[in-house]
Amino acid sequence: MSLIAVLPKIFYADIQQALDFFIDGLGFELGYHDEVLYIVNRDNATFQLMVDPELAETDSRPEIRIATDDIEAVYADIKARKPSILHPNLNHIKLQPWGLKEFAVLDPTTVCIVFQQSL
């Protein structure tokens, strides 16, 4: 038995903000959707985006990490698509002391997604 994927669920008051961020900014594609659940996919990464204004207003927005085997290509893709979503504190690829190359993006509701590659 093995774990094969992590499928984060993020709550939004304005689903269009989420779709603009994930589809236009990160290059995800919209799969299933109904009135409250939107599933977006890119490669082996899947996010469940939920319309729930009450839960979206909580003080703690998630930080999510996505591992990649080509961080330079992911960074170039996102920078070309929508450079405004690059996180102000990690808006370039940085070699971290813990042995990862990382950069981050930030959505308008302060959900942070860190892309990482092992050395």
Domains and their CATH numbers in the chain: 9-118 (3.10.180.10)
Which distant-in-sequence residues (6+ apart) come within 8 Å of 111 by Cβ?
10, 21, 61, 62, 63, 64
Mean pLDDT of the chain: 93
Place of tokens 């409250």: 36
Q: How confident is the model over 23-52, as a mean pLDDT?
A: 95
Is 109 in contact with 20 (CB distance < 8 Å)?
A: no
Instruction: Give the pLDDT confidence score for residue 1 in this predicted structure.
Output: 67
pLDDT band at 108 (very low <50, low <70, confident <90, very high): very high
Q: State pLDDT tens for residues 76-100.
A: 999 999 999 999 999 999 999 999 9
